[in-house]
């Protein structure tokens, strides 16, 4: 079995440290990938600190994985050695339920297999993620990366990209759409880029003016503060869709007033505590308050192809794995523009 170098959390809230383990040998339908880059998602921090509960250790985080195919199983049809590929948040699902049948594996009714801190379908084998030198994945959950995409900047597309692309597509954003993005972080900056590439008019709603210049560079035409009364007067019933990436507590009832009739606010961030929602702003505009979770494999491939065609990739800061604990602390302070990506060569 291939031996793998990685960085892992040995216990909740402990600093990540070097960890060596063995990946399984590729089966007939598996692809082995030499990992080159892995994005750092805020959910990695939640998981290694066991803030969502149910964490198992040692844990190797990372689900924004890009690399090169180094070995393929005897039945693999889609990939060959040397291909540039990606792996996102899932490495398997039941492939039998209605959601899987529709290409919506993220909503698998038996639960998808997460890239890390999850169990393989045998119910026993722990999955380990992309802060590592190699990974073995079923070919149906491996994605093709176009040579037009820089591999390091493509890594965050496997989570931040698809998490924002999926609701934009589901709510049919295109030319003439008015889209607001709440929060300009790892998710928010991808939402701005993608919505602009789809032809929408994009407005960023932020808590301060610190990122105004960035917002316009990324494709936003307007930048407003969510703390100012003028915002709620000027943009009352204005937006077709609000992509809310904020995980902090907010008065969602007030922001729902910015959504036009039959529009929607889609929640991508998850606050620590439930927020009270009054029916009034919903019923008075036939508005929808919805959520969205990553995307299926087919849609993720569509997103990667769209990004290659439009020249869309993540704004990143490339770091060696030895700086991951420092990166986590900086991420908590919002001190990254806009996604850390680990150069896995630093593990070898």
Model pLDDT, residue 123 = 87
| Nearest by Cα to 55 from 133, 135, 116, 138 | 116
Query: Tens of pLDDT along 12-50?
Result: 989 999 999 999 999 999 999 999 999 999 999 999 999
Model pLDDT, residue 66 = 98
Q: How confident is the model at residue 52 (pLDDT cuts 50, 70, 90)?
A: confident
Average pLDDT over residues 48-59: 93
| Nearest by Cα to 238 from 256, 219, 252 | 256
Query: How far is Cα 209 from Cα 212, in angstroms, rounded to an integer?
Result: 5
Model pLDDT, residue 24 = 92
First to last CA, the chain: 18
Please calculate the CA angle 45-50-56 and round it to the nearest 5 degrees.
110
Q: What is the mean pLDDT of the chain?
A: 96
**Which residue do the tokens 């195919």 mark?**
69
For 303, phi and psi rounded to 5 degrees? -65, -45
E strands, 152-246, in order: 178-182, 201-206, 222-225, 239-244
User: Residue 270 pLDDT more than 90?
Assistant: no
Parallel, antiparallel, or unpaired: how do β-strands 65-72 and 113-114 relate?
Answer: unpaired
Q: How confident is the model at residue 2 (pLDDT cuts 50, 70, 90)?
A: confident
Q: How many CA atoms lie within 13 A of 114 on its CB side?
A: 20
Model pLDDT, residue 172 = 98
The gap from C-alpha 243 to its chain's centroid, in whole angstroms, comes to: 14
Q: How confident is the model at residue 164 (pLDDT cuts 50, 70, 90)?
A: very high
Average pLDDT over residues 312-327: 98
Query: How far is Cα 191 from Cα 175, in angstroms, rounded to an integer?
Result: 15
Strand, coil or helix: 42: helix
Residues in the chain: 348
Q: How confident is the model at residue 264 (pLDDT cuts 50, 70, 90)?
A: very high
Contact yes or no for 3/22 (Cβ under 8 A):
yes
Strand, coil or helix: 150: coil
Q: Which CATH architecture is the domain 3-159+314-347 placed in?
A: Alpha-Beta Complex (3.90)
Model pLDDT, residue 158 = 98
Predicted structure pTM score? 0.96
Contact yes or no for 316/156 (Cβ under 8 A):
yes
| Secondary element (H or E) of residue 39 | strand 30-39
Average pLDDT over residues 328-347: 95
Query: How far is Cα 181 from Cα 164, in angstroms, rounded to an integer?
Result: 10
For 218, phi and psi rounded to 5 degrees? -75, -15
| Nearest by Cα to 221 from 188, 199, 254 | 199
Numbered ranges of CATH 3.40.50.720 in the chain: 161-291
User: Residue 201 pLDDT more than 90?
Assistant: yes
User: Residue 147 pLDDT more than 80?
Assistant: yes
Numbered ranges of CATH 3.90.180.10 in the chain: 3-159+314-347
Tell me the CATH number of domain 161-291, given options 3.30.70.260, 3.40.640.10, 3.40.50.720, 3.40.50.11310.
3.40.50.720
Model pLDDT, residue 124 = 87
Model pLDDT, residue 128 = 98
User: Residue 248 pLDDT more than 90?
Assistant: no
User: Residue 341 pLDDT more than 90?
Assistant: yes
Average pLDDT over residues 124-145: 97
User: Residue 1 pLDDT more than 80?
Assistant: no
């Amino acid at each position: 079995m291939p031996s793998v170098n990685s960085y892992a959390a040995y216990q909740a809230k402990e600093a990540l440290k070097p960890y060596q383990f063995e990946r399984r040998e590729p089966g007939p339908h598996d692809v082995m990938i030499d990992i080159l880059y892995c994005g750092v998602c805020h959910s990695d921090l939640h998981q290694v600190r066991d803030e969502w509960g149910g964490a198992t250790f040692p844990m190797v985080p990372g689900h924004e994985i890009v690399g090169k195919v180094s070995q393929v199983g005897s039945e693999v049809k889609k990939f060959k050695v040397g291909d540039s590929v990606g792996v996102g948040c899932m490495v398997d699902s039941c492939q039998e339920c209605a959601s899987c049948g529709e290409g919506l594996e993220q909503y698998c009714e038996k639960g998808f297999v997460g890239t890390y801190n999850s169990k393989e379908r045998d119910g026993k084998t722990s999955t380990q993620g992309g802060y590592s030198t190699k990974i073995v994945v079923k070919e149906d959950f491996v994605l093709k990366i176009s040579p037009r995409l820089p591999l390091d900047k493509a890594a965050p597309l496997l989570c931040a990209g698809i998490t924002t692309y999926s609701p934009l597509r589901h709510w049919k954003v295109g030319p003439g759409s008015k889209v607001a993005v709440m929060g300009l972080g790892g998710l928010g900056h991808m939402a701005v880029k993608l919505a602009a590439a789809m032809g929408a008019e994009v407005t960023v709603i932020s808590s301060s003016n610190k990122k105004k210049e960035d917002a316009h560079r990324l494709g936003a035409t307007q930048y407003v503060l969510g703390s100012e009364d003028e915002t709620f007067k000027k943009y009352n019933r204005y937006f077709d869709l609000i992509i809310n990436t904020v995980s902090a507590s907010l008065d969602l009832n007030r922001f729902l007033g910015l959504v036009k009739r039959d529009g929607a606010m889609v929640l991508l961030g998850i606050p620590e505590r439930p927020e009270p929602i009054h029916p009034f702003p919903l019923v008075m505009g036939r508005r929808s308050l919805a959520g969205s979770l990553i995307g299926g494999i087919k849609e993720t491939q569509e997103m990667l192809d769209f990004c290659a065609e439009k020249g869309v990739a993540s704004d990143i800061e490339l770091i060696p794995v030895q700086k991951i604990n420092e990166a986590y602390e900086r991420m908590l302070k919002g001190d990254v523009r806009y996604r850390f990506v680990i150069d896995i060569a630093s593990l070898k």
